[in-house]
Structure 1
């Protein structure tokens, strides 16, 4: 069964389709969106090797010529150099603004291809076909596109909504277990920030989701996308409520910067750890009941995600270095630290004036030096 979540943004509205078999139906789904019988498909070496031939067959069956742009796999591709290489490849294809760009991959490809579409000849249409759980429940929906810089993650980007999102649950069968757990961190985030009943359901069914049991997986993805859509509709450009989607991310982005945006710490792993830290900080500050904080931390750990800095091995983090990255976070304003903190499991809020000294003490209590 195909489930549809509508992202109602007026003239920029689009559907997110969730279910099995969507890759094979991609040609029929994309055909109404194209003006010429050609599409540029941006992917990475891993995804293209696994699924490129299947997507190509589906698009060609609908009469579409496929022009693949295959980039190196990994977070390092989401950079100025990666953006330049992608834009040059798109220009070499002589795409018009009316041609369609397809982002076919995980969050790195979705963010990079979406940003390239936003700036290509001042704006081209694009479609998201996310191939990781993290991308399906989070980064493919909502129009946030960006690249990383040495000074921080996602600091250069644009809001650019896709025309359509196809979340094919079948492609998750080839996703490594570690990547599956990383994506599940974002699923947990939705329950923790705004849906206590969903969080309770995940406590009971998280293992089934991670095991890719069809019904549990479909429900987890659908509810996550519903929550993302509801928040994006209310606050498309993150002026207020949308910031809640960054639960755990201020901690996460600082940790990712310190580990070099690589395989040492995946984004979803950092989000899981950051969410646990946000709940522990909230409890320590008297904002959240200790029992709720313990539930959040246990849910992260039960998914096989790092829940404490010590779970990252012997690596030592300097509290001052982490604070420096936090001060560069997109949510920071006027030198004030902004975090998403919790009142309880299922209710988060934006704290816009977190004391840097108190945060430093907390980081040291967590194991930073």
Structure 2
């Protein structure tokens, strides 16, 4: 039996329903898993996504990012030309969804990006039994075993406690990671102001409109500066530019799954390397494959070959999709 989804140069395509999942270029019909820019692009005719993802796309690209949009809640299901499409929590960021596609007795789940760690800014990942599971492979090497994020945050807060006259600057991606870091800081006892780089304000406000409360967050302006012992969140690219120098003395920290790699941490010239990731690590990828119990696994964007080999050693059919255009997330989004 031929799969009801096929990989193409434009993205994962469903011929029966004539739609793409996370297409790499403008198409007539797109189903979007989440709002990160390598998955959610502009210029599509029709876009189906969760209300939160549509909100993110509008905030980033404007109301005319697509000709027509249709929201589908997590847990929702619709029929499109005889193809059942349903959305299931991916646990990656606000609104992130696994897209389940079912027709002709076959079910395929495209997970998009996902994580298994609990995150109060989005519903937890939901394993969905299927015939074919399409998984990311960002951290698909045995070396990647993410530590407890609370302990990583405590490292940075501990460093700040030892240098109370300094300001803690945390480099993190503006969508997903900044919001999660804010909640982790609150959970671990920091109740002071969290100052936001200008690029983060719109998305933080969007999360709050969807019911996520962050406490005292403030946009950084020319008129206001953080006090001693305060915390700044900014994109990694801003941590060493002229903008950041006005806040010295600084403790610079970076929150990314790539901080596991010492060379990357050293390259970023940070005082505190925080291994906090919004992607599944190696044990979590294998756990997920066990739970969805798919007969076949398709692997995309990341360390595809290592995960293919692990699947084969476990007696599971697997194939790398070799799709060019999805970022493996470098240092920023992961």
> Normalized against structure 2, the TM-score is what?
0.31
| Structure with higher helix content | 1
| Structure with higher strand content | 2
Structure of higher RCO (CA pairs closer than 8 Å, 6+ residues apart): 2
